[in-house]
């Protein structure tokens, strides 16, 4: 059963229950009102009984064959009967029997009363009272109960029909409305099934509504875009890593093959070949470690804590200053608190410092600045060509002048991955002499 059908049935069921409850309330209200109106009409007929009695008396006086006074008179839909003295208990041939209570009412000892009685196979609602202005004379007014039961039966049939038809119409209407309302769900479902069947992450969903379904569609589209980007990035990473690994592996294999020859170890070049192999193994280890770090630092910031960025920079610069042929470092570090993974940020800062050290000339100056969540490092190296500036933080990107330098091409990519994972941003800027690299992180405010 489709979702549209279930929504239609649910809508019809809700309307059906609502109509059924309304019908019960209406029926329960109309029944007593009809009986009350019936009783009121009987009371009014009793109030008019003296006039009717005079008219009957005049009619009998003018008639050659007068009718007995206790003969029931048909006043439209109301039956009226006078019971005159002497009142005898028991059978009344013209209408219902006289009871002890009737005698008490005629004498004024009991109030008037209503009762349901049957006469001649017809059920009546009967009101028995003392004739106004007289003693020892009863008057009965009666109306068939069919006047009420017939209306209630017709009303019940009408309410049942309306409830059934209303529920059916509501179900059909809900089904049609659901088809329109749930169209975005169908579009989204088709897109998901298409992706499942074809593995095509480039599929797009065009849902522009402002309701929850529209938001779901936009979130799904954003998720698909992110997945597509991630998959393409993984493919590029695999392709780039394969390319970068191939060169040192090829060189390492060649050197090992030369050493494996008959005179390889006795060859005067053997020590050089061993040193080259060790160097190439180091390059492979560095490349693999960088790839692992690049993946690890993109998994989130579960260890995030408040960290002094200026102290991290001071610690990294202090280590770099101890290296041989290290440039001259100048510091301008203002206290700055950020909420980050301290190990990841220290790795990012260290990569920027290593990059500056690598490109600084002997005796060059490197300026390190920390202020308001921003770490900036300026070197006096050869600088970055303007055409290369947009790509310096890409994986495995190396400008023409950097291809002869050692490195994996992942250092700055790791910087960007770490910083963007923490909600920050990175930038590169050519200077008149050298390059300025910066990273910016959200600051923890007091």
**243 in active site:** yes
CA nearest 143: which of 31, 69, 38?
A: 38
Same domain, 143 and 52: yes
129, pLDDT greater than 60:
yes
pLDDT on residue 92 = 67
The whole-number pLDDT of residue 204 equals 67
Between 337 and 291, whose confidence is greater? 337
Residue 241 maps to a domain: yes
Same-domain check for residues 428 and 306: yes
Does 157 map to a domain?
A: no
Instruction: Tell which of 84, 117, 152 closes a domain.
Output: 152
Give the pLDDT of residue 337: 93
> Which of these three, 232, 263, 294, is where a domain ends?
294
- Indicate the angle between helix axes 212-260 and 183-198, nearest 10 degrees: 10
- Give the pLDDT mean for 227-246: 66
pLDDT-based confidence at 376, cuts 50/70/90? very high
Q: Same domain, yes or no, for 12 and 145?
A: yes
Across 44-58, 67-81, 160-174, the highest mean pLDDT is recorded for 160-174
Does a structural domain hold residue 59?
yes
Active-site residue (options: 194, 243, 339, 422): 243
Question: 306 and 282 in one domain?
Answer: no
Whether 355 and 391 share a structural domain:
yes
- 329-336 average pLDDT score: 93
pLDDT: is 296 or 33 the higher one?
Answer: 33
pLDDT at 100 > cutoff 80: yes
CATH of the domain at 339: 3.30.565.10
Q: What are phi and psi of 240, to 5 degrees?
A: -65, -40
Pick the range with the lowest mean pLDDT from 44-58, 237-251, 332-346, 417-431. Answer: 237-251
Q: What gap in Å lies between CA 79 and CA 117, rounded to an integer?
A: 13
∠ CA 295-300-303, nearest 5°, is: 115
Query: Helix (H, G, I), strand (E, B), or coil: what is residue 202?
Result: coil
Average pLDDT over every residue of 351-371: 90
Question: Residues 148, 74: one domain?
Answer: yes
How close are the terminal C-alpha atoms of the chain, in Å? 57
Does 165 fall in a domain? no
The CA distance from 245 to 286, in Å, is 11
Question: Does residue 196 fall inside a structural domain?
Answer: no
The mean-pLDDT minimum among 131-145, 222-236, 408-422 falls in: 222-236
Boundaries of domain holding 17: 3-152
The rounded mean pLDDT for the chain is 80
Tens digit of each residue's pLDDT (9 = 90 or more) over 152-188: 888 888 889 988 888 888 888 877 777 776 677 777 7
Estimate to the nearest angstrom the gap between the alpha carbon of 78 and the chain centroid. 65
* Confidence (pTM): 0.48
């Amino acid at each position: 059963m489709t979702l549209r059908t279930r929504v239609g049935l649910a809508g019809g069921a809700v309307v059906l229950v609502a109509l059924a409850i309304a019908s019960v309330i209406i029926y329960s209200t109309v029944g007593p009102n009809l009986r009350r109106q019936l009783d009121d009409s009987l009371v009014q007929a009793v109030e008019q009984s003296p006039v009717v009695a005079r008219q009957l008396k005049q009619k009998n006086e003018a008639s050659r064959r007068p009718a007995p006074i206790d003969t029931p008179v048909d006043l439209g839909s109301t039956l009226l009967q006078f019971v005159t003295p002497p009142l005898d208990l028991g059978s009344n041939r013209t209408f219902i029997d006289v009871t002890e209570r009737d005698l008490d009412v005629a004498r004024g000892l009991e109030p008037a009363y209503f009762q349901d009685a049957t006469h001649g196979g017809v059920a009546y609602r009967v009101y028995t009272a003392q004739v106004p202005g007289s003693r020892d004379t009863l008057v009965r007014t009666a109306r068939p109960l069919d006047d009420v039961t017939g209306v209630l039966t017709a009303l019940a049939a009408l309410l049942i029909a309306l409830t059934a038809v209303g529920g059916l119409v509501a179900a059909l209407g809900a089904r049609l409305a659901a088809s329109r309302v749930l169209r975005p769900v169908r579009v989204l479902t088709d897109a998901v099934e298409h992706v499942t069947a074809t593995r095509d992450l480039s599929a797009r969903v065009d849902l522009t509504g402002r309701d929850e379904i529209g938001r779901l569609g936009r979130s799904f589209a954003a998720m698909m875009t992110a997945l597509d980007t991630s998959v393409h990035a993984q493919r590029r990473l695999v392709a780039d890593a394969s390319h970068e690994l191939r060169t040192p592996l090829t060189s390492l294999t060649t050197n090992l093959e030369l050493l494996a020859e008959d005179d390889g170890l006795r060859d005067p070049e053997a020590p050089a070949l061993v040193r080259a192999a060790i160097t190439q193994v180091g390059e492979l280890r560095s490349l693999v470690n960088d790839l692992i770090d690049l993946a690890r630092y993109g998994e989130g910031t579960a260890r995030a804590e408040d960290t002094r960025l200026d102290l991290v920079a001071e610690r990294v610069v202090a280590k770099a200053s101890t290296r041989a042929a290290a440039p001259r470092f100048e510091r301008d570090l203002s206290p700055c608190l950020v909420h980050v993974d301290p190990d990841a940020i220290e790795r990012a800062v260290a990569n920027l410092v290593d990059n500056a050290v690598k490109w600084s000339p002997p005796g060059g100056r490197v300026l390190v600045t920390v202020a308001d969540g921003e770490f900036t490092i300026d070197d006096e190296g050869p600088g970055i060509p303007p055409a290369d500036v947009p790509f310096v933080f890409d994986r495995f990107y190396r400008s023409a002048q950097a291809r002869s330098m050692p490195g994996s091409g992942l250092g700055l990519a790791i910087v960007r991955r770490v910083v963007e994972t923490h909600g920050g941003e990175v930038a590169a800027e050519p200077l008149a002499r050298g390059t300025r690299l910066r990273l910016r992180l959200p600051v923890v405010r007091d």
